[in-house]
Structure 1
Amino acid sequence: MKAHIITIGDEILIGQIVDTNSAYISKALNEIGISVYQISSVQDERDHILESFAFAKANSDIIIITGGLGPTKDDITKHTFCEFFNDELVLSQEVLDHVTHIFKAYVKRPLLEANKTQALVPSKATILTNRFGTAPGMWMEQDGKVFISMPGVPHEMKGLMEGSVLPKLQEQFELPYILHKTLLTYGMGESALAQRIETFEDELPATIKLAYLPSLGRVRLRLSTTGTHKEEVDATMQIQLEKLKPLIEDVFVGFEEKGPLEVIIGNELVARSKTLAIAESCTGGSIVQRFTANPGASGYLAGSTVTYATRSKTEVLGVDEALIETHSVVSAQVAEAMAKQVRDLYDTDYAIATTGNAGPTKGDSEAPVGTVYIGIATREGVKAYHFMMGTHRERVIGKAVNKALELLHEEILKN
């Protein structure tokens, strides 16, 4: 069974907002056995929407639309729905009562006529109650195809997906079981990795697909398969995983299903009752942000500093000025000192530090653009690692963050 996701809104097409809705919907559909055939973003324009509806209907079984359901004149999805389904808008007392309740309980101001238009829905639509907003979700069927329309506001859309759409799809259709296993690898490029597992890839059964997903300093290997019986699919996948893992043992850090590397590191620190501190310069807080974006970070992350300027390294961390004058602020010696000082400051088991030149200018050091030093400190000692990360500023920072996480993970696994 195939789905087509359509996002409606000029704000997406001009780059004003990022379409996170499609990513969420795709993942949610995949988890219940529905493959996404295509994702489209279209203008708030009648002809464009109608063309997208017609194409989606011809090529997919389920069409999910987000956006264009607001109370203003530029939100035309409901009107276009009526035209496509040869329908008309009618007042839904259920929706009107819901909108009235929201304004009375939460908005605390009079209901405007524009807000009352939220209660106008196509007569053929099944209403999906939006617990978090005024625009209802709508479910319509034609020629065996299902059209589902939801607001574009992410938390409203997610509430409708989880509370109404997914359960209704599972109830109405007999869906296959889709399984993805994504292995995280660090420290080896895509080409080298492909060469290493070439024989494994050639011998994969036709029912399993392998995809390489490279990014800065890491490659994800995704194995995908589908079937009718969950037990058989799981067993087939497990056989291939047991063949693959020994081939990449030195670069494999875990499964993406268990979370990104920072989550894996956090879990390992908690399991070992160990703590971490971070001192960042060239990465500007990006490493600590990766950790604190996940719940439970306070269980192992003691604290961090972003000592971006040279002066802050001496005044906040206590790095010796003479060390900086002798070796430069971008050096192995300063990276080691930063890691040691921040570990002492927070009295942690591990500490990580970055100093480098991300560009485009050299700043306080004559080190070439792309130079990065990463320091790792433990209670037993400290060591710095030197890298050249290229000349593109964002890529330098991204590579430095990923490499720092990789080095920290390796250090933790030594104990």
Structure 2
Amino acid sequence: METVILAVVIAVVVLGAISGLVVSGRKKKQLPPSPPAAPKPSVTAPPAEPQVGEEAETPRDEERRTIEEVTLPTAEAPAAEAPVAEPEAPAAPAVEVPEPTAGRLVRLRARLSRSQNTLGKGLLTLLSREHLDEETWEEIEDTLLTADVGVAPTQELVERLRERVKVLGTRTPEGLRALLREELLTLIGTDADRSVHTANGIGNGGDEIPGVVLVVGVNGTGKTTTTGKLARVLVADGKSVVLGAADTFRAAAADQLQTWGERVGARTVRGPEGGDPASIAFDAVKEGIAESADVVLIDTAGRLHTKTGLMDELGKVKRVVEKHGPVGEVLLVLDATTGQNGLVQARVFAEVVDITGVVLTKLDGTAKGGIIVAVQRELGVPVKLVGLGEGADDLAPFEPEAFVDALID
């Protein structure tokens, strides 16, 4: 028995020794050295949040409020937003003050005389010859015909000049100049009423309405531009104007007329491109009545493809406008550079509407000033305005005396 116990003890001791050796062997194996730790940045840590109970005060004996006594904090009113600035509207174009019309033709006299030297100076040179034989008189006649005076007026003028030179026997330059001036004035006429009739009329309802002026003519003669310049003439004379853009068949005609109107503060009544011209003319007069304007200027279409179409169109415009009241003036715009072709146009328009006056444009660019005489003879109406350049104020009331003086200056 004792032997068994002893054997067990020895086995236990042996196992313990073996376990100690194994453990000590493992301890002898060293791990590889770890890399040195990077130095930690010195950061000041924020103070630790107080934990529950650390700073608790000793409870005081106070009366507790009921839930009805507790009020919510008042919400602060939101800060008022700054008003958003609206974009500025584009500035209206400055309204121009047109040049006064009184004496305007005199101020443009130099421009006129330069273009008409062939007529005036040519006649004076011929009349100053020592011997006025038949050949000289034929040259005088050719000079007048070249200036588009017309056959009948030319013959009349030559006959009177021959008679007066023979009877009076005047041969001095001053005498010849005075003689020629007198005869040219007789030929052009000084007694005609050359004012543009813009007086207020009496409407069909018995009320006063603005003066109505229709501007007619072939496209290309400067009709729309002349209408705009005429508005400046009337504004310069102290009248208020409404423009009617009834030329709806030509691209940009309404824009062009509106630009002219804006420059002098005149309103333009317009419609869609290709719209009814008579309707626009009617609305323009209606607007003129509403604004108590002095004058309504209506720019009409200038197509001349057929006389029938033109007659129907212009006739309708005039009839519709006359539902408001009478038309005071119908002005025909002619290009002076077209010469005798302008007379053909004049005849057609005269058959369509009752022309009351003529506006001759581009008179500064031609030596055919005699067209004034021919047109007046053809239509039986006076030339009332002449265009002497491209400037805004180059449309002038026609003054026979200033015109003749420019011819022979």
Relative to the length of structure 2, the TM-score reads: 0.28
Larger proportion of strand: 1
Greater relative CO (CA pairs within 8 A, separation 6+): 2
Flag the structure with larger Rg: 2
